[in-house]
Chain A
Amino acid sequence: MKPTATPVRRQLQTPPVEPSQFPHNPGSLLSAEDLSLDGISHLLKRATALENEDPLVRNRLLAKRRVALLFYESSTRTRTSFELAAKGMGADTTLVSSLSSSIEKGESLKDTGLTLRALGAEAIILRHNSSGAPWLLEAVTRLPVLNAGDGMHEHPTQALLDLRTILAHLRPGVEALTAETLAGVTVTIVGDILHSRVARSNMMLLPRLGARVLLCGPRELLPDLAAAAGVGIAIERDFEAALRQSQAVMMLRIQAERLAGLQLDLEEYKAAYQLTGPRLATQAPSALVMHPGPIIRGLELTAGVADGPQSAILEQVRNGVAVRMAVLERALTAPDKQGGRA
């Protein structure tokens, strides 16, 4: 007979956590986790196809479809690239921003979403300062909702365009993504991880392709518990040690608007974490330098690095339009028709 040990704690059955009901609409992109690897492979393939498509043909793909851009926060890259992507495929777009709409008068997100739906919007692209807002909007409108950044939470299209950038440099020509596609690759994300939705989307996405994600930054901006957010994520506080291991390095802006009273010595920060020419040359001379923007030259990275040969910053921006075209096509095309017309 097996000896039975007395357990230290009682082993008790407790109420299960129910699986998520989201997304309600198959066209939605709320989180990078919503997409399977096959789904991502398909999106990236479509991004390339759409980018290379004859503009006159492309212009008919979503002709006169109605897309609303609902922006509660300012944005240059994301807004413009979504807008150009939609217009490039012939869709009609309308921009509602919190400062020039009834949102200022106290209209709720729910009512704003229902209003846009009543006006004929077939998909809503939402940028919001509160984490989770796209889930609420999708639940109440049941429209395809594309998360263009929610608070400190996620920015899935940024993760997709970052992935496209990384693949182009490190795995050129690879189309069908697997759990090993990025095996052996270390991507370091540096700086204000705590407040960054770009960091969260990337750290949830890249390990699924086999990459190792290193997080680097001071404790105030990178709590220890970040490493527990998912698999394949580790913390390396020594920037130069992290650089030495990296094939790609993502620099992040310090989000002054979200610091909420946190005091930070910027000179100290720069001394430890600024990506400078010498640092890059000595520690990671062939690593890809990325940044989701907006960049603050002279803070998280020097102007020389931003404009230097290792920088992929503007390539990321360009990839944004292609990826967002594919995401919009997915949002507005029935699942059975997707992929059937390349």
Chain B
Amino acid sequence: MTALVIRGGHLMDPAAGVDAVKDVLLKDGRVAEIAAPGKLKQGNDAESLDATGLVVAPGLVDMHVHLREPGQGYKETIASGTAAAAAGGFTAVAAMPNTFPVNDSPEITRWMQAPERAAAIRVFPIAAATRGSKGEALNDFAALKSAGAVGVSDDGQPILKDAMMRETLAAAARVGLSVIQHAEDTRQTQGSSMNLGPVSFKLGLRGMPPEAESGMVERDIRLVAELRDTRVHLHVAHTSTAAALGAVRQARRNGLRVTCEVTPHHFLLMDEHVGLYNTNAKMNPPLRSAFDRDAMIEGILDGVVDAIATDHAPHAMHEKEVEFENAPNGITGLETALGLCLRWLHKEWKMPIGRVLSLLSAQPAALLGLKGRGTLIVGSLADVVVFDPKAEWTYHAQETRSKSRNTPFDGWTMRGKVRWTISEGRVAHSSPA
């Protein structure tokens, strides 16, 4: 029986309302006891970590990553992607189904979770909503759920047809899964490689109008409203426009179960950060105008945003070192999320650390229905991140654990250094002070 004591750290467990210096005993993969420093009743002979001056928090949960397996191991593997996740303080990630082949079957869903994948932390597959993510025939959600899928999505291939989206929402609700929509009306974005606006005009690039996102979100919300089934849960992935966020806000006022996530790059960067064709600033949805970016910040600070997710999307160097229009969409994000959130949301914009952590753990865990995660109450799973909240450091992409280094945050100052990431009681990552 393995046991580990985290001594003297500042336990911040927003879901449980704990914000105090505590010793924490982890045993057999679960939180066994929490007590004032030196007051643990058990585990006095167990191995211990000295967390004096550090924050001890529930392991982070990223509800939107691309681990590229099966099929594109040259970009990332489940092993390398989860190693990067552990380094970033994550103990659970939800992997999108746009793999090769598409994860639209219980077999692939199980394959992704198999011990042979050598994941450093927990991987929760999100299965494709439709066969091959083609938007034509629904998958068997009950079978996918029992194989371990925690949601359905055709991420990257939005479900355009009203009837198909309605069917998806209804069928997912029946088995208790969320529908995660990459909201983009692709009829308005063909051939486009960045946000539509003065910047895209000046760069001579075709632009994606913000309405291509917000229009799709509005359509989806209308379908949720029409279904009149309280079990229906629509989650808007990587929200990037003020109009889409406004639609989510309104839907919630109307009592609908509509939630959303925002990525660090969409609340930090804007289309001007594309600079002179930096393909590491190319993703979908694209970096938007200052107006939309500011709306993401407001949405996070005022609470309409439910979760921060990275949309970690690794691509090989040779794929990104091409003409801007030809470069694939996406950037890595697992190693930089916590450091950016603490640097900007907390230090610069004064959001309490507890609320930042909640957006990165308790809230996404609840959205995905991950039981026993996102909190450290006694009996919950021993998924823990221990970090130095005041340490400032510089991120170097060349030192990444990911197989890819396509990030716009290379050389950026981060705040909050992860010392240990513990996955179900086992140290998945440790780094020196």
Contacts and interface: CB of A to CB of B under 8 A. Distances in A.
Partners in one complex: yes
Interface stretch (B31-39, B80-88, B195-203): B195-203
Given A108-B321, A132-B277, 18 more contacts: A10-B297, A10-B349, A12-B349, A14-B293, A17-B272, A108-B318, A131-B277, A132-B276, A133-B323, A136-B277, A136-B321, A136-B322, A136-B324, A150-B204, A151-B325, A228-B198, A229-B198, A229-B202
B150 to A, nearest CB: 32
Chief secondary structure at chain A's binding surface: loop
B390 interface: no
A225 B197 contact: yes
Interface string A131-163: 111011000100000000011111000000000
B206 A153 contact: no
Contacts of A132: 203-205, 276-277, 323-325
Contacts of A154: 204
Interface of B: 190-191, 196-198, 201-206, 268-269, 272-273, 275-277, 293-294, 297-298, 301, 318, 321-326, 344, 348-349, 412
A133 B204 CA distance: 11
B203 A223 contact: no
Contacts, number: 92
A108 B316 CA distance: 15
A22 B205 CA distance: 19
14 contacts: A12-B294, A12-B349, A15-B344, A17-B273, A108-B322, A109-B322, A130-B323, A131-B324, A132-B323, A136-B321, A152-B205, A204-B202, A223-B201, A229-B198
A151 B324 CA distance: 11
A252 B252 CA distance: 50
Nearest to A194: B201
A15 B203 CA distance: 21
Contacts of A130: 323-326
A194 to B, nearest CB: 8
Interface residues of A, number: 37
A13 interface: yes
A13 B272 CA distance: 16
A46 B203 CA distance: 29
A169 interface: no
A110 B326 CA distance: 13
Nearest to A197: B204
A225 B201 contact: yes
3 closest cross-chain pairs (CB), A and B: A153-B204, A132-B277, A152-B204
